[in-house]
Amino acid sequence: MEKIDIISKLPYSKPFLFVDKIIRIDEDGVEGEFTFDEKLDFYKGHFKENPVTPGVILTEVMAQIGLVCLGVFLLNENISSISLIALTSTSIDFFKPVFPNEKVTVVSEKIYFRFGKLKCKVSMQNDKGEIVCSGIIAGMIV
Protein backbone atom coordinates (compact mmCIF):
# COMPACT_ATOMS: atom_id res chain seq x y z
CA MET A 1 0.00 0.00 0.00
CA GLU A 2 1.35 3.41 -0.96
CA LYS A 3 1.84 6.02 1.76
CA ILE A 4 -0.48 8.49 0.03
CA ASP A 5 -3.19 5.80 -0.22
CA ILE A 6 -3.10 5.43 3.55
CA ILE A 7 -3.75 9.15 4.09
CA SER A 8 -6.63 9.09 1.59
CA LYS A 9 -8.30 6.24 3.53
CA LEU A 10 -8.31 8.12 6.82
CA PRO A 11 -11.79 9.11 8.02
CA TYR A 12 -10.74 12.74 8.53
CA SER A 13 -10.62 15.91 6.47
CA LYS A 14 -9.34 19.40 7.08
CA PRO A 15 -9.51 21.06 9.52
CA PHE A 16 -9.33 17.82 11.52
CA LEU A 17 -6.78 15.91 9.41
CA PHE A 18 -3.46 16.01 11.29
CA VAL A 19 -1.25 13.99 8.93
CA ASP A 20 0.86 15.79 6.32
CA LYS A 21 3.28 13.03 5.39
CA ILE A 22 4.13 9.43 6.20
CA ILE A 23 7.90 9.06 6.24
CA ARG A 24 8.05 5.31 6.77
CA ILE A 25 5.64 2.54 7.61
CA ASP A 26 5.88 -1.23 8.05
CA GLU A 27 4.21 -3.94 10.14
CA ASP A 28 6.12 -2.83 13.25
CA GLY A 29 5.45 0.90 13.22
CA VAL A 30 5.08 4.23 11.47
CA GLU A 31 6.74 7.64 11.35
CA GLY A 32 4.93 10.72 10.09
CA GLU A 33 4.85 14.50 10.17
CA PHE A 34 2.41 17.32 10.74
CA THR A 35 2.90 21.11 10.74
CA PHE A 36 0.61 23.22 12.92
CA ASP A 37 -0.59 26.10 10.73
CA GLU A 38 -0.96 29.29 12.75
CA LYS A 39 -4.44 29.74 11.24
CA LEU A 40 -5.87 26.64 12.95
CA ASP A 41 -9.00 27.74 14.77
CA PHE A 42 -8.06 26.51 18.26
CA TYR A 43 -5.15 28.98 18.44
CA LYS A 44 -7.61 31.89 18.58
CA GLY A 45 -8.66 31.09 22.13
CA HIS A 46 -6.04 28.81 23.64
CA PHE A 47 -3.89 31.37 25.47
CA LYS A 48 -4.95 34.24 23.21
CA GLU A 49 -1.85 36.35 23.82
CA ASN A 50 0.59 33.42 23.52
CA PRO A 51 -1.07 30.59 21.57
CA VAL A 52 0.03 27.03 22.27
CA THR A 53 -1.26 23.73 20.88
CA PRO A 54 -3.69 22.01 23.29
CA GLY A 55 -2.58 18.65 24.67
CA VAL A 56 -5.74 17.01 23.37
CA ILE A 57 -4.74 18.05 19.83
CA LEU A 58 -1.20 16.70 20.33
CA THR A 59 -2.79 13.42 21.45
CA GLU A 60 -5.01 13.43 18.35
CA VAL A 61 -1.99 13.91 16.06
CA MET A 62 -0.26 11.00 17.77
CA ALA A 63 -3.39 8.86 17.41
CA GLN A 64 -3.96 9.70 13.73
CA ILE A 65 -0.37 9.03 12.69
CA GLY A 66 0.69 6.45 15.26
CA LEU A 67 -2.46 4.37 15.50
CA VAL A 68 -4.87 4.99 12.62
CA CYS A 69 -2.31 5.19 9.79
CA LEU A 70 -0.64 2.05 11.11
CA GLY A 71 -4.03 0.33 11.44
CA VAL A 72 -4.89 1.14 7.82
CA PHE A 73 -1.54 -0.28 6.73
CA LEU A 74 -1.97 -3.46 8.81
CA LEU A 75 -5.49 -4.06 7.51
CA ASN A 76 -4.34 -3.28 3.94
CA GLU A 77 -6.65 -4.99 1.43
CA ASN A 78 -9.24 -5.83 4.07
CA ILE A 79 -10.61 -2.30 3.95
CA SER A 80 -11.64 0.22 1.36
CA SER A 81 -11.96 2.97 3.93
CA ILE A 82 -12.28 3.22 7.68
CA SER A 83 -15.68 4.24 8.93
CA LEU A 84 -15.32 3.93 12.70
CA ILE A 85 -12.40 4.26 15.05
CA ALA A 86 -12.78 3.79 18.76
CA LEU A 87 -9.98 5.12 20.90
CA THR A 88 -9.87 2.76 23.86
CA SER A 89 -7.08 4.20 26.01
CA THR A 90 -4.34 6.79 26.20
CA SER A 91 -1.58 7.46 28.67
CA ILE A 92 0.42 10.46 27.50
CA ASP A 93 3.12 12.46 29.28
CA PHE A 94 3.74 16.03 28.05
CA PHE A 95 7.20 17.61 28.24
CA LYS A 96 7.35 20.66 25.94
CA PRO A 97 4.86 23.04 24.32
CA VAL A 98 4.16 23.10 20.58
CA PHE A 99 3.57 26.54 19.08
CA PRO A 100 1.91 27.68 15.84
CA ASN A 101 3.89 26.88 12.67
CA GLU A 102 5.92 24.13 14.36
CA LYS A 103 6.43 20.82 12.56
CA VAL A 104 6.34 17.66 14.65
CA THR A 105 7.35 14.10 13.90
CA VAL A 106 5.44 11.17 15.38
CA VAL A 107 7.12 7.78 15.79
CA SER A 108 4.98 4.79 16.71
CA GLU A 109 6.01 1.24 17.59
CA LYS A 110 3.38 -1.51 17.55
CA ILE A 111 3.01 -3.28 20.88
CA TYR A 112 0.31 -5.62 19.59
CA PHE A 113 -2.46 -5.94 17.02
CA ARG A 114 -5.00 -8.67 17.67
CA PHE A 115 -8.76 -9.12 17.75
CA GLY A 116 -9.16 -5.76 16.04
CA LYS A 117 -7.30 -3.86 18.78
CA LEU A 118 -4.06 -2.01 18.09
CA LYS A 119 -1.82 -0.80 20.90
CA CYS A 120 1.27 1.34 20.26
CA LYS A 121 4.08 3.14 22.03
CA VAL A 122 4.04 6.63 20.49
CA SER A 123 6.28 9.67 20.81
CA MET A 124 6.28 13.14 19.27
CA GLN A 125 9.33 15.30 18.73
CA ASN A 126 9.85 18.83 17.48
CA ASP A 127 12.25 20.00 14.76
CA LYS A 128 15.05 20.22 17.33
CA GLY A 129 14.67 16.49 18.01
CA GLU A 130 13.30 17.13 21.51
CA ILE A 131 10.56 14.85 22.83
CA VAL A 132 7.36 16.87 23.13
CA CYS A 133 5.18 14.07 24.48
CA SER A 134 5.10 10.29 24.60
CA GLY A 135 2.99 7.44 25.84
CA ILE A 136 0.76 4.50 24.99
CA ILE A 137 -2.32 4.72 22.75
CA ALA A 138 -4.76 1.92 21.97
CA GLY A 139 -7.84 1.71 19.80
CA MET A 140 -10.11 -0.47 17.73
CA ILE A 141 -10.65 -0.02 14.01
CA VAL A 142 -13.99 -1.19 12.66
Nearest to 44 by CA among 52, 55, 36, 32: 52
For residue 35, the cross-strand partners are 103
Instruction: Verify whether residue 46 is a known catalytic residue.
Output: yes
Count of helix runs (H) and strand runs (E) in the chain: 3, 6
Find the catalytic residue in 46, 117, 119, 121: 46
Cα 105 from Cα 31, distance rounded (Å): 7
For residue 106, the cross-strand partners are 32, 124
Active site (catalytic) residues: 46
